[in-house]
Structure 1
């Protein structure tokens, strides 16, 4: 069952956006996207708060997340979080399959 983690990175003076830019420039983002079990790894900037960046991070299962947490990418990511003095809020969600009641609200 897929697990999605929403991570909100909150900084000051543009530090959250600088963090994402450095993650991309160093190839960490592309590397994480290629890890076994990764489904999605995308950053978004808040329209209401430019100091807040949302990461939507989806994985096939908990073992894939556990392996990711042990990867060298996580060690580099942790260093960058410290460098940019970012604070975080985390939410976890499990996928619900075939929720027919929601289909009438979705426009494709």
Structure 2
């Protein structure tokens, strides 16, 4: 039963895109994708909103998400969010059996 979490990051002066670029360049994205249970971790840029970035984050189950949230990487991600002064809007979807 996969769980998909969409996170819309918003900031000013292109900071959301800079955040996503640094997530990739620093290797954090590659490390998240290697975590057990991660099925998708991709950023998308809305054409008409240069101050937002959408992350689609998919996991096999809640246990995989919980493990990810307890990992040291979460502190790195939080520091980058703070660095770029981002706001988050989270939407969660769960497949039905």
Verify same fold: TM over 0.5.
yes
Give 1:29 shift: 0.2
The corresponding residue for 2:66 is 66
Q: Normalization by structure 1: what TM-score?
A: 0.87
Distance 1:94 1:48 in 2: 28
Work out which of the two has the higher radius of gyration on C-alpha atoms and give 1 or 2.
1
* 2:90 counterpart residue number: 90
Runs (5+) with no aligned partner, structure 1: 98-108
Gaps of 5+ in 2: none
The total of aligned residue pairs comes to 97
Counterpart CA distance in 1 for 2:87 and 2:27 is 22
When the two chains are superposed, the root-mean-square deviation of aligned CA atoms in Å is 0.9
- Tell me, what secondary structure is at the counterpart of 1:22? helix
CA drift of 1:96 comes to 3.9
Report the alpha carbon displacement of residue 17 of structure 1 after superposing the two structures with TM.
0.5
- TM-score, scaled to structure 2: 0.97
Moved >4 Å (runs of 4+): none
CA distance in 2, matches of 1:78, 1:94: 24
Q: Distance in 2 between matches of 1:58 and 1:33?
A: 10
